[in-house]
Amino acid sequence: METKMINLKINGIPVTVPEGTTILQAARQAHIEIPTLCFLKDVSRMGSCRMCVVEATGARGLVAACVYPVAEGMEVRTNTEKCRQSRKMTLELILSKHKKKCLSCERNHSCELQRLSLGYSVDEDRFKGEDFVLPLDDSTPYLIRDNDKCINCMRCVNACKKQGIYAIGPIGRGFNVHIGSAFDRPLVESPCVGCGQCVVDCPVGALSEKSNINEVWAALSDSSKKVVFITAPSVRATLGEAFDMPIGTNVEGKMIAAIRRFNPEAVFNMDVTADLTIMEEASELINRIKTNKPMPMFTSCCPAWIKFIEQTYPEMIPHLSTCKSPQQMFGALLKTYWCEKNNIDPASLFVVSVIPCTAKKYECAREEMKGDVDVAITTRELARMIKTAGIKFTELPDEEFDNPFATATGAGAIFGATGGVMEAALRTAAHMLDGSFEVLDFFAVRGSNPIKEATYLVAGHTIKVAVASGLDNARKIVESIKSGEKKYDFVEIMSCPGGCVNGGGQPTLPDSVRNSVELKEARAKALYSCDNTNSYRRSADSPTIDIIYNDYLNFPNSHRAHEILHTSYKPNPKI
């Protein structure tokens, strides 16, 4: 059926859009950005904050552009005096109960409320709300909630709902409404898994990661410590955004150069242990296929997904790969192999992981792996450190990772995108099963579709795989397996929609960007470019991996490899 097109004018500019389009969407076609606070593409569409109000013919009074549909012949005006005064009053009412600690706020200079307040010349003290102080929730190892900064836009609630976790929601009514967990209990007692999607979706500073920056500075200043930085695959594709560089810019060389100016012992490439994860995981998969161990096998790189399984589907724990994540593998390898090779006391080594994820902070503190990595800092935290240190990021020359952990494969780089772990594992597993299998590109598992399936025939084995990103989609996959509806051999799950490139620790961008740019695709493109231009595209072909096994681990899934690189999981773990 042919889509009906609607003709209208926005600020006098003719626009033609499909029927059902909202005024907010139509305005972008006229290159007009209507301000928003509660609206966020693919996450929240409520029309509750009233920042996007406009005047439109055929409507009574001001209407919310984010939910109001266009009509034939409609004329919309977005910046009338009535619109501007309404928005200004809305902001002043929000500020009447907002903790205005902008100078020390994590979101200073990147806060949507701050940006709009400046643009509309608000009087932040025009209305005096009732003073009350809500308790700061810092009960988890990864997140801080400051409800005195919350503007009740509900974006965090909708993000959690979209993930299918429902850890938070509105409590109370009217002026006293606030966001919290059931019965106002601390977040640590909720089903929260630490994915951090609520943090990147919050337009203000009500949610932030629990920062480890001070610990890193302290370690760097301690002469008894040898500080090593390890950087995750997707950080190279997003760090530049914190310095106003185009989305999807690969800043690997500048990232290394910036960290080196902190004067650490070394800067290593976590893509190396992504390759190591693949060697261990592919070997484990083949062993499971041949010995009829619990199938399908689930990937275990994402700590939020692991926590989700432990809390929600403990009966599926035997299906999890026993491999540690690349972050934890690297920490364990550094404090064993690297320390032994360099006569370093492991107790003096301080490992800093730079990661696109808030749940990785929780992973560092897990009882089973505590001590592998000392602290994990997000991409945002690294950007703050670079700025604080006075490093002119965009002017830096490109530098290279330190040996012996500098060279990795393209398979390691694509770990940061949904489907990347699956594709990397398939490249090596297929080659292990059939040495003449040379296919390197598995296009069916690529892309940001929330659920992907594929079937491959390798050395007489039919391998059925599935990929899911976003925990609500993970739930669908697990339920289909439990019911017998679906049968897979290998399943990749990433908690964040689109994978680590869209992780909860990535840079916060203005709503105008987040609502108009496909971030997941642009960031993932940078990683696949790294893969396509790499001399090595299969983890099994990595010369670094050869050295690690020949020098220390012997072979994939060896006894020593299991001691250092593998772990176990249990229902409802406690930190």
What residues are annotated to the active site?
281, 284, 301, 321, 360, 363, 368, 500
Bond before 233 cis per omega within 30 degrees: no
> Which residue in 399, 128, 423 sits closest to 252, CA to CA?
399
CB 196 within 8 A of CB 219: no
Task: Transcribe 432-478 into DSSP letters.
Answer: HH-TT------GGG-SS-SEEEEEEEETTEEEEEEEEESHHHHHHHH
Query: Which residues, 6+ apart, have CB-to-CB distance to 539 below 8 Å?
Result: 274, 275, 276, 278, 279, 282, 409, 411, 412, 424, 427, 428, 545
174: which residues sit within 8 A by CB, 6+ positions away? none
214: Cβ contacts below 8 Å, ≥ 6 apart: none
Measured CA to CA, the distance from residue 202 to residue 252 in angstroms comes to 28
Asked if omega into 264 is within 30° of 0 (cis), the reply is no
Q: Distance between CA atoms of 37 and 511, rounded to whole angstroms?
A: 8
CA angle 537, 421, 412 (to 5 degrees): 40
Token pair, residue 154, equals 């509900």
Query: Under DSSP, is residue 232 helix (H, G, I), strand (E, B) or coil?
Result: coil
* Residue 491 and residue 296 in contact, taking contact as beta carbons nearer than 8 Å: yes
Beta-bridge partner residues of 89: none
- The sheet carrying 226-231 orders its strands as 266-269, 226-231, 349-355, 375-378
- The CA R_g of the chain, rounded to the nearest whole Å, is 25
Contact of 486 with 466, CB cutoff 8 Å: yes
Q: CA nearest 375: which of 237, 186, 216?
A: 216
- Edge-to-edge strand list for the sheet holding 490-494: 297-298, 490-494, 461-469, 451-458
Residue ranges of alpha helices (H) inside 3-111 are 23-29, 81-95
How does strand 349-355 pair with strand 375-378? parallel
Q: Which residue has the tokens 């990397």?
A: 424
Task: Choose among 24, 31, 26, 29: nearest CA to 46.
Answer: 24
For β-strands 178-180 and 169-171, DSSP reports them as antiparallel
d(CA 267, CA 425): 26
Q: What is the DSSP string of 270-325?
A: THHHHHHHHHHHHHHHHHHHHHT-SSSEEP---HHHHHHHHHH-GGGGGGB--BPP
Which helix H or strand E contains 268, and what residues bound it? strand 266-269
